[in-house]
Amino acid sequence: MKFILIKSTIHTGKRIMLTILIALLSCLLILLGLLLTYSPGKSKPFLKTDGTLLADSVSEKSFITIGGVKQGMFIRGKNIQNPLLLFLHGGPGMPEYFLAEKYLAGLEERFTVCYWEQRGGGISYSPDISLESITAEQLISDTIEVTNYLRERFGQEKIYLLAHSWGSFIGIQTVKQTPELYHAYIGVGQISQMAVSERRGYSYMLEQYAMAGNESMVKKLKDYAVLESDDAIRSFFNSALRDKAMHELGIGTMRDMKSVVTGAFLPIMKCRAYLPGEKVNIWRAKLFLRNKTILIDQLFATNLTVEVSQLEIPVYFISGRYDYTVNYDLSKAYLQQIQAPVKGHYTFEQSAHSPLFEEPKKFLKIIMEDVKNGTTDLADEELRGDE
């Protein structure tokens, strides 16, 4: 009797395990099916009301050789006669087309926009790319080459350069070197002194979590000892704790983004412009470039307030009031000291690090009414005007 009972228990256990296995496989198949459904790998075309293609529009994902390396980009606009705008994404290695597609569609009504995915990032990722080739100097050179490709292809003498976060580190140095290629520069979450910015963000987080009585988070933050050494700053910058702490406080990527999973991972998985393998490569690229020693060292060693203190073209900084990813006060102070023919700073009161996506209507109004006209009527009163 005991033997029969044991045998029956074993059979029951096997059935349960088999049921669980079948359920897991079913879930995996469903997830794979959803991934394939959401991943045709093409950007949505511009269509007329009758469903036919809008004449003179462009909506493509293309690959060209830049600096000897195959690199990808999305180019979108309702009319190719409109001005050109090149978008430099953040990261390093974190393309933002999936966010721009959702929040900035109005930009493509008045501009032909190129969302270039930088060397080693997104659809420009390849394990064959040499780590040594990814430096700030090379990315600046790549930006100039992409700019010239767009100018030649669309027959325009100058373009607009829009740069966000990490992209602003590359973008502002690019327009300093080749101002003749650009109508204006727009820096969103503009970097100035990254090491100082990180220390301020870290101190703010310690203070906020201490005030909230979150002793566990305070201890975790203190373990990084960011205020004690430059190596500690770099280590914290690359940590998952930094992202988690910032998002919980509403001072990270977006004010309302509380998780990288819901705020970035899932939207990327749903973006139809990427193939399944390209979606995987976005995250491979992020790890690849965030841990790139030369690039991160250059980011923290460079003081842009010294390196780029004068620009020959109009310059616009757009900052979120709650931005501690790239410190709001530092960005504002940086623009104040820059010498430029036209300059304006714009404070977004409801935003953290991504005001262009958090308050897109206000952002588009500034682009259309100030940037495109070379004016600063909408800028913060104390930081606008001509010089």
226 is a domain residue? yes
What pLDDT is recorded for position 2? 54
Q: What are phi and psi of 163, to 5 degrees?
A: -130, 135
Q: Looking up tokens 């006209």, which residue turns up?
A: 373
140 is a domain residue? no
Separation between Cα atoms, residue 298 and residue 345, nearest integer Å? 26
223 is a domain residue? yes
**Alpha carbon of 356 to those of 223, 319, 328: distances in Å?**
34, 9, 15
In the chain, % helix, strand, coil (3-state, to 5) comes to 50, 15, 30
pLDDT tens per residue, range 301-317: 999 999 999 999 999 99
Separation between Cα atoms, residue 180 and residue 312, nearest integer Å? 9
What pLDDT is recorded for position 21? 56
Beta bridge partners of 75: 60, 114
**What is the number of structural domains in the chain?**
1
- Are 53 and 45 contacting, i.e. CB atoms less than 8 angstroms apart? yes
Domain span holding position 208:
195-270
199 is a domain residue? yes
pLDDT tens per residue, range 4-40: 555 556 666 666 666 665 655 544 444 445 455 557 7
188 is a domain residue? no
If we measure between CA atoms, which residue out of 320, 315, 332 comes closest to residue 376?
A: 315
Q: What are phi and psi of 204, to 5 degrees?
A: -65, -45
C-alpha neighbours within 13 Å on the C-beta side of residue 106: 13
256 is a domain residue? yes
227 is a domain residue? yes
DSSP 280-344: HHHHHHHHHHHT-HHHHHHHHH-BHHHH--B-SS-EEEEEETT-TTTTHHHHHHHHHH-B-SEEE
Give me the average pLDDT of each 10-residue run along the chain (387 residues).
56 63 50 54 87 92 95 96 97 90 89 96 90 92 98 97 97 98 98 96 96 95 88 88 94 88 88 92 84 83 96 98 97 96 97 96 96 96 61
One-letter amino acid of 222: K
284 is a domain residue? no
What pLDDT is recorded for position 5? 52
What pLDDT is recorded for position 32? 47
- Are 177 and 140 contacting, i.e. CB atoms less than 8 angstroms apart? yes
